[in-house]
């Protein structure tokens, strides 16, 4: 055990009440849900829904994917996790989402990268001015070829 950092303490506070809040939304507090929360507490950065199902089932094999996804939906409503989309629209989850960011994904190598809001500021402003459309940057995923894959493709050509 390392010493608790202030950020970690704040994150713990946000989760402290989650049992009561799940109940308030009509969800029972089950061992499976408790295990999912334990798994989420150990996640840093991005994790796919499938990974969460797998890690949860490793601890409690009775957990079903629908329990995991339904609980994630509710936790998202509480602001404790957020989702974005990876390759082929697969859901990926962020625990304790801090800042808005989008994602770049490359099917060639399976890589994904965070996209800072200022990298898409022009696109966002253009769509707002031109169409009155508000882009949800934290839900924005752009698929394409990364620099390495683009170079490899050129070398083959
Ligand atoms: Zn979505
Ligand atoms: Zn790539
Ligand atoms: Zn992300």
Q: What is the pLDDT of residues 28-76, one digit of tens each?
A: 888 889 999 999 988 888 899 999 999 999 999 999 999 999 999 989 9
Give the residue from 70, 95, 120 where a domain finishes: 95
Domain around 22: 6-95
Cα 156 to ligand 2 centroid, rounded to whole Å: 15
Cα 96 to ligand 3 centroid, rounded to whole Å: 11
Domain presence at residue 1: no
Cα 69 to ligand 1 centroid, rounded to whole Å: 13
Is the domain of 69 the same as that of 134? no
Domain count of the chain? Answer: 2
Cα 52 to ligand 3 centroid, rounded to whole Å: 16
Order across the sheet with 141-143: list the strands.
111-115, 102-106, 141-143
Is the domain of 151 the same as that of 82? no
What's this model's pTM, rounded to 2 decimal places? 0.76
Is the domain of 21 the same as that of 73? yes
Q: How distant, in Å, are the alpha carbons of 27, 93, 99, 116 from that of 120?
A: 38, 21, 14, 7
Domain presence at residue 54: yes
Indicate the range of 8-17, 35-44, 58-67, 140-149 predicted with least confidence: 8-17
Non-local (6+) Cβ contacts of 34 within 8 A are: none
Question: Is residue 4 over pLDDT 80?
Answer: no
Is the domain of 107 the same as that of 82? no
Q: Are 39 and 59 in contact (CB under 8 A)?
A: yes
Non-local (6+) Cβ contacts of 24 within 8 A are: none
Cα 104 to ligand 1 centroid, rounded to whole Å: 15
Cα 132 to ligand 1 centroid, rounded to whole Å: 21
């Amino acid at each position: 055990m390392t010493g608790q950092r202030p950020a970690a303490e704040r994150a713990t506070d946000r989760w402290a009440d989650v049992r009561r809040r799940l109940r308030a939304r009509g969800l029972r507090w089950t061992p499976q849900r408790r295990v999912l929360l334990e798994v989420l507490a150990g996640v840093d950065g991005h994790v796919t829904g499938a990974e969460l199902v797998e890690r949860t089932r490793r601890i409690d094999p009775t957990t079903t994917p629908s329990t995991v996804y339904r609980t994630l939906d509710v936790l998202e409503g509480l602001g404790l996790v957020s989702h974005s989309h990876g390759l082929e629209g697969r859901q990926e989850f962020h625990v304790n989402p801090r800042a808005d960011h989008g994602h770049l994904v490359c099917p060639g190598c399976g890589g994904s990268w965070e996209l800072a809001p200022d990298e898409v500021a022009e696109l966002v402003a253009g769509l707002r001015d031109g169409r009155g459309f508000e882009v949800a940057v934290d839900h924005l995923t752009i698929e394409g070829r990364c620099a390495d894959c683009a170079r490899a493709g050129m070398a083959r050509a």
